[in-house]
Amino acid sequence: MRALLALLWLAHFLPLWILGPVGEALGSLLFIIMKPRRHITLTNLRLCFPEMPEQERVALARRHFQAYSRSVLERSVLWWASETRLRRLIKIESDLPLSTLQAGPTILLCPHFVCLEIPGIALVLNSSVSICTIYTRQQDAVTDAALLKGRSRFRPVKLFSREQGVKPIIRAMREGYPFIMLPDMDFGMKDAEFVPFFSIPTATLTATARIAAATKASVVPMIATFLPGYKGWKVTFYPAWENYPGDDMTEATRRMNAFIEARILEAPAEYFWAHKRFKTRPPGQADVYASSTPEQT
C-alpha cells in the first residue's frame, strides 16, 4: 500500500491531460476484469434506464469505469498539488453560498458523483469556512492517514463516524460548521424509507430531512463534474431549497431523490453506479443483483 501511495504521490506532478487518459485506460481494463462490479453497474443501469438499448448501457458502464478510475488518479492532485494549481483547475460556475452559510446551520448535499471531493475543496479554497462530515475509517492505516491529511490540508475538518449518530453532527452545525452530507447510499432500513429513485422503490436515508428539521438548516446541493479536454473540474452550488423539509419527511426525501436523478441525467457516466444502490428490497421482492443477465463487454 505504501508503494501505491508513493505512485499516487508521483502522479500529482503530471498534467491532467496525461492523468486523465491514463485513468480512462485503466478504467477500460478494470471494466473487463472486475466482473462483480461490472455486473452491479450494469444491473443498476438496466433498472434505471430500462428503455436504453443494451449496447448503449454497456458503453455507459464502460465510461463510468473510466470516469471513476480517472477520478482516483486525479485525487493525487487534490491531495498534494499546490493551492495555486487547484485554483486554476477548479472552475466554480455559480455563486458561493456564503450568505447562506453565514445565516445559520447548513447541509451541503453532495451526491455520489465520482468528483465528490471537489466541491468541499472549492469551498474552503475560496472562503474561510471549515466543514464537518461523516468519515469511514479505512482498514489500511497508511491509506487512512493519507486520506485524512489530504481532506484536511487547507482547513480543519470535523470528522464523525456513522456509529456516533447525529448528535455530534448537530452540535457541530450549531457551532457554525456546514455539514457535507452524502445522502444516496444503501445502508439498510435503519433511518430509511422506500421512496422512488428512477421509479424504483429505493431504501433512502431520511437523515437529510430530519437533520434539516432539527437544526432549521438550509440545504445547499453541490456537484462537481469533469471539464472537457482534461482541463479540470466544474463545481456548481445550487440555491438552497425553499420550504425544505416541510412537515412530511417522506415527501422531502422523495424530493431529494428527484433532484439527484435530474443531475445524473446531466452527466450519467459520472454517477457512482458500481454501488449496490438497490440492495435493500421491499418485503417479498427478490435480490436484483442475484440474477445472471448475459453481459456484453
Q: What mean pLDDT comes out for the span 261-267? A: 98
Is 104 a member of any domain? yes
Tell me the average pLDDT of the chain. 93
Please tell me whether the overall predicted TM-score, pTM, comes out greater than 0.85 for this model.
yes
- Enumerate the β-bridge partners of residue 134: 160
In this structure, is residue 49 part of a structural domain? yes
Domain containing residue 208: 1-266
Please write the tens of the pLDDT for every residue from 97-128: 999 999 999 999 999 999 999 999 999 999 98
The pLDDT assigned to 292 comes to 56
Across the range 248-254, mean pLDDT stands at 96
Over residues 21-47, mean pLDDT: 97
Q: Which of 40-54, 86-100, 233-247, 282-296 has the lowest mean pLDDT?
A: 282-296
Q: Give one DSSP letter per residue of the chain, joined into a string.
A: -HHHHHHHHHHTTS-HHHHHHHHHHHHHHHHHH-HHHHHHHHHHHHHH-TTS-HHHHHHHHHHHHHHHHHHHHHHHHHHHS-HHHHHHHEEE-S---HHHHHHS-EEEE---BTTTTHHHHHHHHTSS--EEEE----SSHHHHHHHHHHHTSSS-EEEE-GGG-SHHHHHHHHTT--EEE-------STTEEEEEETTEEEEEE-HHHHHHHHHT-EEEEEEEEEPGGG--EEEEEPPPPTT-S-S-HHHHHHHHHHHHHHHHHHSGGGB-TTS-TT-S--TTPPPTTSS------
Mean pLDDT calculated for residue range 43-63: 98
> How much is the pLDDT for 294?
52
Average pLDDT over residues 245-257: 96
Residue 249 lies in a domain: yes
Region 61-66: mean pLDDT is 98
In a domain? residue 84 = yes
Q: How sure is the predictor about 156, in pLDDT bands with cuts at 50, 70 and 90?
A: confident
**Is 125 among the domain residues?**
yes
Tally of structural domains, the chain: 1
Residue 285 maps to a domain: no
153: pLDDT confidence band, cut at 50, 70 and 90?
Answer: confident
In a domain, 277, yes or no: no
Residues 115-144 as b/e (b if ≥16 CB within 10 A, e otherwise) read bbbbbbbbbbeeeebbbbbbbeeeeeeeee
pLDDT of res. 140 = 76
* Residue 14 lies inside a defined structural domain of this protein: yes
Q: Could you tell me which of 244, 158, 260, 138 has the C-alpha nearest to residue 204?
A: 260
